[in-house]
Amino acid sequence: MNRIRSLLRGLTRDQAFALAGFAAAMAGFALIVWSSLSSLIDDYQAYSTASELLDNIEKRGRQAAQLTPPGGGASGSPFLEGRTVTVAGAALQQRVGAAVAQAGGNVRSSQIDLQGTQAEQGYVTVTVNCEISQTGLQPLLYDLEAGMPFLFIEQLVIQTPQSSSDKEGPMRVRIDVSGQWQVEK
């Protein structure tokens, strides 16, 4: 204890100011380091929150894409594609067949009508007879009418299973779908 007193007595006024200045500088430096670290922690927390938000948004986007029926996106030409009306009819037949298969149904037969009542306006119609479950019918209809090219359901005939033991079985469906073909330029 005597040693500390003698050391303090030995300090001159200039040395005391230097020591106080050094202590103040060290305290200021510690304050700056603490402030920087605090700011860095806040920035990291903001980054983490933004990253989680982005992940949630991307996850919702992927879920929405999975919920959208195939071919249901409104992209592409609104007209049937093909150099000739026959090729356009075949494309329509493939489109409807793929939609039935995607909805869990089976195409039994199909027929393209290139000379129907609306053929003069450029419409092509395909008649498809298929079997599909009751739960698959709504996604099928949505896929056909909401996607591209623009397709119109002209007629829909549904026959439910006749036997009481087969009530859960597939329904027989006849669907007439038309789309407009436009000559490629």
63-93 confidence digits (pLDDT tens): 665 655 554 445 667 888 888 888 888 888 9
Cβ atoms of 69 and 139 closer than 8 Å: yes
pTM of the model: 0.56
Angle formed by the axes of helices 134-146 and 85-102, nearest 10°: 140
DSSP code of 128?
A: E
2-26 confidence digits (pLDDT tens): 777 766 666 666 677 788 888 999 9
105-162 confidence digits (pLDDT tens): 999 999 998 776 776 777 899 999 999 998 899 999 998 988 788 899 999 999 988 7
